[in-house]
Chain A
Amino acid sequence: MLGYLRLQLLATARNKRYLIFTVGFPLILYVAITASITGPDSQKYAVAYLVSMSVFGVMGGVLMTTGPAIANERKSGWLRQLRLLPISERGVFVGKVATAMATALPSLIAVALAARFFKNVHLGAGTWVELIAAVWLGCLPFAAIGVLIGYVFDGESARMISALLHSLLAFLGGLYFPVDTGGLHRVAQLLPSYRVYELGNDVIHSQTLSGVGIAILAGYAVVFGGLATLRIRRAGGLTA
């Protein structure tokens, strides 16, 4: 298991395109958006976009390292090869999720550093740690969704669907601009992206974490994790 994680991390760390998109993009967005907002409320936005861009980055990183990569490995035959080795299907699944989560951390830290040193956002040390932990763990459902995408869709469609889902969830989840009212809000409340964002905000504003939010996130993780597991099992016997 650890060997597999190590191997996967090595491969991801060498993937320049991944690093540019998943680490660079949220960072640039954060800096650009917050720089364009001036006036008395600018500090408030610096904090709000710290949370939303952290979620945006981790969600993107997790979705892009699971689905497209798995679809590629199914096509190339590497996953079939793994099945002939003493590593279980669960081991591969856990390895994929763990890799995605681990490789999404740098973007989270990059956005946090930009907030702290570029926008002078001051939070207590404990709050920083809690924020990072909440956003990071809150994005676990996206890893399950990503694995499922990788097993359901092939090559280019897996990549497009992951990218589309990322933008859609970011937009509807209120990561680009707030969706606090109306029909959009009702939709947002059902989405994992909104719920992670809410979790991060609760941490920053020292509010009690939303139980409903956590339950919805856990629900997404369980449902999509379960579907992915079923799909992996079914793919087991008949592929190639």
Chain B
Amino acid sequence: MSSAAIAIKDLVVRYGSVTAVDHVDLTIQRGQTVALLGPNGAGKTTTVKSMLGVLKPTAGNVTIYGGTPRAAIVAGHIAALQQDGGLMDGVTVRELVTFVRGLYKKPMPPDQIVDVAGLAEFLDKRANSLSGGQTQRVRFGLALAGDPDILVLDEPTAAMDVESRRSFWASMRSFADAGRTVLFATHYLEEADAVADRVIVMARGRVVSDGSVTALKAGVGARQVRFTLGSDSAAGLDRLPGVVGVQRHGAAVALRTTDPEATVRALLANRDRVPDLEVSGASLEEAFLAVTAETN
């Protein structure tokens, strides 16, 4: 028996003539916290929907613990959190939690749901009177109700302010620390950087990068050499040894290089002054842009 929490085999999803997901293979092991990154239209949401069985793939299949997604939902193995949307009208948060717990054979104890999702302050309020951040907490609580081993989140913090976002990820980390599997789609790179131990990058329906955050950053090879150019022309900088990209930010210039040492030597040899010189690893954002652009 395979230990994979989620196995996606050769998944293809087409909407008419548009291919949203183009032959994706992924295996998510138990206990991993995985970020699914990608620009809009990369196929993240479609992949997540296929994972939850709410969308029928054109080809390929998804299994959760070896069974169908629907069976895993019914058994309470997997639960999901969507990015937004309202809750039911006319009932309190407590009533909603009670209802959803009642759908499962082995639900999470109510106190634990309230505690992990942070619902205590508005438990007896009407569910449709809450703020965006509070609503998302309730939805998180409802996702916890079946005591799932796997949680799938589709841009869970899209409707939240900074503070709610921070406390949301703190709750999520305590959930993941208990050995559970978390997969979340996001376009906030810092969330992936802070929370995930594996980052899958999608672009145009394909997986273009898959590994740890460090590996993703290192994989694009490039490091960054930055200095103040002032009013000088940037012409010729792209011919320096190791340089694969030149980007000007006002008075500053950033060179992406595969050999920072050679680049810096050449810079110092060619120029009288290299003010504010700085060598750094590529940021996740640069790495992300690099891998999503490669396949253009």
Contacts and interface: CB of A to CB of B under 8 A. Distances in A.
Interface of A: 3-4, 6-7, 10-12, 14-15, 69, 72-73, 76-78, 80-81, 83-87, 236-238, 240
A84 B82 contact: yes
Contacts of B75: 86
Given A77-B82, A77-B85, A84 B54 contact: yes
A81 B85 contact: yes
Contacts of A81: 82, 85, 87, 139, 142
Interface in B12-56: 52, 54-56
B89 A85 contact: no
A84 B73 contact: yes
Given A77-B82, A237-B56, A85 B73 contact: yes
9 contacts: A3-B99, A4-B99, A69-B89, A76-B85, A76-B128, A77-B82, A77-B84, A85-B73, A85-B100
B87 A87 contact: no
A10 B95 contact: yes
The 5 A-B pairs of least Cβ separation, nearest first, read A77-B85, A76-B86, A11-B90, A3-B102, A86-B74
B103 A3 contact: yes
B104 interface: yes
Interface of B: 52, 54-56, 73-76, 79-80, 82, 84-91, 95-96, 98-100, 102-104, 128, 139, 142-143, 146
B76 A7 contact: no
Decide if the interface of chain B is mainly helix, strand, loop or mixed. loop
Given A3-B98, A73-B89, A78-B85, 16 more contacts: A3-B103, A7-B91, A7-B99, A11-B89, A14-B90, A15-B90, A69-B89, A76-B89, A80-B85, A81-B82, A83-B54, A84-B79, A84-B82, A86-B73, A87-B103, A240-B85
A236 B90 CA distance: 25
Given A80-B82, A86-B74, A11 B88 contact: yes
B90 A12 contact: yes
Contacts of B85: 76-78, 80-81, 240
Given A11-B90, A80-B85, A84-B80, A237 B102 contact: no
A237 B54 CA distance: 6
Contacts of A240: 85
A6 B146 contact: no
B64 to A, nearest CB: 13
Which of A69, A72, A85, A237 has the most B CB atoms < 10 Å from its CB?
A85
Contacts, number: 74
B27 to A, nearest CB: 22
B52 A84 contact: yes
B12 to A, nearest CB: 15
Contacts of A10: 90-91, 95
Contacts of B142: 81, 85
A101 to B, nearest CB: 18
B250 to A, nearest CB: 42
Contacts of A11: 88-91
Nearest to B103: A86
Contacts of A84: 52, 54, 73, 79-80, 82, 143
A230 to B, nearest CB: 16
A139 B275 CA distance: 83
Contacts of A14: 90
B146 A86 contact: yes
A7 B54 contact: no
Contacts of B52: 84
A85 B142 CA distance: 9
Contact of A78 (B54, B88, B98, B143): B88
Contacts of A85: 73, 100, 103, 142
A85 B54 CA distance: 11
A7 B96 contact: yes
A100 B199 CA distance: 47
Contacts of A15: 89-90
Contacts of B95: 7, 10
Contacts of A238: 55
A6 B103 CA distance: 13
